[in-house]
Amino acid sequence: MSRVQGTVASILTSNGKNGTTFYRFTVDGDQRQFGLGTNQPQFNRGQMVSFVTNKTPKGFWEVEGNVETLAQSSPTILNTTTPSRTTSKDDYWTAKEARDIEKDKIIQLQSCRNSAIETVKILLDKEAIKLPAANKRYDFILSLIDEVTQHYVAKNDGRNQEKVPDEPEQEEPQNEDELWQ
């Protein structure tokens, strides 16, 4: 159930069985059609209306109760349940940039999680970690994976980034015997 408020874009009719007329209408900025059943609308195209709608099991949007006609001087609210279809190119690119940033964060987290799982797997294979009792291993391993994941996320975000000192230059071996030592 949702409340919709907006300007009536069109009023449509269809003929049912036995000559019954069914009424429905649309609101600017919304692709849905809102059914009134056999009740003739008490408003005209271009008028501001407010109503409650509910989706039927068959997927149709039916008006619950009465459609309230609002004064024309009230501020225009196209639809409080779905975004408006009128967007500019700048709006599109701004929204796409926001989606891309969110998608990049998700990909980064997945990558860090996969790296953490592999790291924990290696540590377990090499027995570098002492496991607790058998009944606590599952929780221990999951918390370890979470901890290592957070470590990798922090590294990727630039937090906890330790500056690695430059390696001292090593002298070149003088002869072949020094190479194998």
pLDDT in tens, 51-91: 999 988 888 899 998 898 887 544 444 455 555 455 677 88
Same domain, 53 and 105: no
CATH at residue 63: 2.40.50
Query: Which pLDDT does position 113 carry in this prediction?
Result: 92
pTM of the entire structure? Answer: 0.40
Q: How far apart are CA 106 and CA 112, in angstroms?
A: 10
Range of the domain at 151: 89-157
Q: Tell me the average pLDDT of the chain.
A: 81
Tally: H helices and E strands in the chain: 3, 5
Residue 170 inside a domain? The answer is no
Structural domains in the chain (count): 2
User: Which pLDDT band holds residue 94 (cuts at 50, 70, 90)?
Assistant: confident
Given a cut of 60, is residue 92 above it in pLDDT? yes
Q: Which of 11, 35, 69 delimits the end of a domain?
A: 69
Token pair 């900025």 in the structure block, residue: 29
- Banded model confidence at residue 148, pLDDT cuts 50, 70, 90: very high
* Coarse DSSP helix, strand, coil percentages of the chain, rounded to the nearest 5 percent: 40, 25, 40
Instruction: Answer yes or no: do 63 and 116 share one domain.
Output: no
| Higher per-residue confidence, 73 vs 126 | 126
Which of 31-40, 44-53, 74-83, 102-111 is least confident?
A: 74-83
Domain stop point among 10, 36, 69: 69
173 inside domain: no
The answer to whether residue 79 is domain-embedded is no
- Is there a domain that residue 77 lies in? no
Place 29 in a pLDDT band, splitting at 50, 70 and 90: confident
Among 82, 33, 20, residue whose Cα is nearest residue 60: 33
Asked, for residue 116, whether it belongs to a domain, the answer is yes
Residue 45 lies in a domain: yes
Residues 43 and 95 in one domain: no
Residue 74 lies in a domain: no
Task: Give dist(CA 103, CA 83) in Å, integer.
Answer: 21
Per-residue confidence at 176, pLDDT binned at 50, 70, 90?
Answer: low
Tokens of 154: 């922090």
Kindly indicate the confidence band of residue 161, based on its pLDDT and cuts at 50, 70 and 90: very low
Instruction: Give the whole-number percent of the chain exceeding pLDDT 70.
Output: 78
pLDDT at 120: 93
Residue 118: pLDDT band (50, 70, 90) is very high
pLDDT at 159: 53
96 with 54, same domain? no
Q: Which residue has the higher pLDDT, 95 or 170?
A: 95
Q: Annotate 33-46 with b (16+ C-beta within 10 A) or e (fewer).
A: ebbbeeeebebeee
Say whether both 95 and 51 belong to one domain. no
Q: Residue 76 falls within a domain, yes or no?
A: no
